[in-house]
Amino acid sequence: MKKTDPGEAAAKSSPPRRGRSATRLRTKPDAAAAPQADGRKRPRGAQVRERVLQAALECFGAFGFEGTSTRAVAERAGVTHTLLLYHFDSKDALWRSTMEAVMKRFLAALDERLAAVPRTDAAACLRAYIENFVRFSARVPQLYRIMTMESTQGSERIAWLIETYLRGYFEQVRDLIRRGQAAGKVRDGDSARLYYAIIGLAGTPLAVSSEFRILTGRDVFTEGEIYHTIGFIFDIVFV
């Protein structure tokens, strides 16, 4: 049996159903798809998935899971609702795919940074972890916002994210803190609390960037501010 083309299905789709409408973001991302590393264009299906996942990240980061609808994501991505559901059959599946994509990007950036330091040097590795978290969070502030919202709610989604990605990351950083403390290079104290101090010092100014800008007159996303944030955390963590 021939699979229905999503474009044809979209053309015949019925008018939108009535119901609670989620808040929309005002602007849409660039619909032009980026080429692959070798310069070739990605297949249309891959282009659509990337656009939808980026739009979903922005919507979930701004409005949370409950405040986001698949229709709002489709509108921001510049695709039909039918086409979105062709790739992601539910909002929950879209959320998980969004978080999988962003966590893979985060871990790939971390691996690249760790490759430049000796793995036997706990303090050097911890510096790499901190710098990666700050810089990635500045590029993708939605990650910290989504994790904060989901943790506050205690949802099944955050439980899945913890077991799939965060537990292993937490244990790696906690162990580096303990090794650094044993070597006399990291401040003494509870390793888990120090881990969350790092997360808070890095992520909070980015999550409340408008407040930070109004009160300080500075843009937390500039390279200078990112550099000073990293240095400030280093001063607190290392001895």
Residues 194-219 have pLDDT tens digits of 999 999 999 999 989 999 999 999 99
Residue 11: what pLDDT? 41
DSSP state letter for 164: I
One domain for residues 85 and 109: no
φ/ψ region of 217 (left if φ > 0, alpha if ψ in -120 to 50, else beta) reads left
| Model pLDDT for residues 60-90, shown as the tens digit of each residue | 999 999 999 999 999 999 999 999 999 999 9
One domain for residues 156 and 183: yes
Tokens 């550099």, residue located: 227
- SS3 for 10-71, per residue? HHCCCCCCCCCCCCCCCCCCCCCCCCCCCCCCCCHHHHHHHHHHHHHHHHHHHHCCCCCCHH
Residue 41: what pLDDT? 53
- Tell me whether residue 170 is in a domain: yes
| Model pLDDT for residues 144-181, shown as the tens digit of each residue | 999 999 998 888 999 999 999 999 999 999 999 999 99
One domain for residues 133 and 72: no
- Tell me whether residue 94 is in a domain: no
- Tell me whether residue 52 is in a domain: yes
C-beta of residue 233 within 8 angstroms of C-beta of residue 130? yes
- Tell me whether residue 95 is in a domain: no
- Tell me whether residue 1 is in a domain: no
Residue 20: what pLDDT? 42
d(CA 107, CA 111): 6
Query: Alpha carbon 155 to chain centroid distance?
Result: 17
- Tell me whether residue 98 is in a domain: no
- Tell me whether residue 96 is in a domain: no
One domain for residues 154 and 78: no
Q: Residue 187 maps to which CATH number? A: 1.10.357.10
Q: Residue 84 maps to which CATH number? A: 1.10.10.60
pLDDT mean across residues, the chain: 86
One domain for residues 225 and 132: yes
- Tell me whether residue 200 is in a domain: yes
Q: Which domain holds residue 120?
A: 103-237
Q: Is the pLDDT of residue 10 over 60?
A: no
CA angle 227, 137, 40 (to 5 degrees): 105
Please state the φ and ψ torsions of residue 169, each to the nearest 5 degrees: -65, -45
How many structural domains are present in the chain?
2
Percent of the chain with pLDDT over 90: 78
